[in-house]
Amino acid sequence: MTILDLYSVRWHIETVYRYFKDLLGFDEYQMWSYKAVGRFWCIQHLTYAYLEFQRQEWGQSQEMTLGDTVRRIRMEHLGNLVVDVYQQALNSTPLSQVLAELKLTA
């Protein structure tokens, strides 16, 4: 194995770490026990697997990065939230109930 082979592996590790840190906020997670570290890595790997799966599903016609995938998931979630609030308004649901369901306060 050459130094370039090792560096290419390292590059993938660094880019994935940056995605987790910048896009998903995993740099704000504090761990105090061995059990917490294990759970943290489990969450990271599950998240990465999910993002890769979505990227492969959506990226068939174009090339997508993990960042593109995260942004698309966020936009779809926001769109679904707006549609849900709109449906609640059409059903004349009281604002206090809508805010309670969204875990927000007026």
Give the residue numbers spanning the domain of 61: 30-101
> Read out DSSP for 56-81?
HHHTTSS---HHHHHHHHHHHHHHHH
Full-prediction pTM beyond 0.75? no
What is the largest distance, in Å, between two alpha-carbon atoms of the chain? 66
98, 85 Cβ separation under 8 angstroms:
yes
* Residue 11 placed within a domain: no
| Cα–Cα distance measured from residue 72 to residue 76, given in angstroms and rounded to the nearest whole number | 6
* Residue 61 placed within a domain: yes
Residue-wise pLDDT for 11-35, tens only, equals 878 887 787 788 777 777 777 788 8
* Residue 93 placed within a domain: yes
pLDDT reported for residue 7: 79
* Residue 56 placed within a domain: yes
**How many structural domains are present in the chain?**
1
* Residue 90 placed within a domain: yes
* Residue 92 placed within a domain: yes
* Residue 65 placed within a domain: yes
On the CB side of 81, CA atoms within 13 Å amount to 10
Residue-wise pLDDT for 49-82, tens only, equals 998 899 888 877 678 888 888 889 999 999 999 9
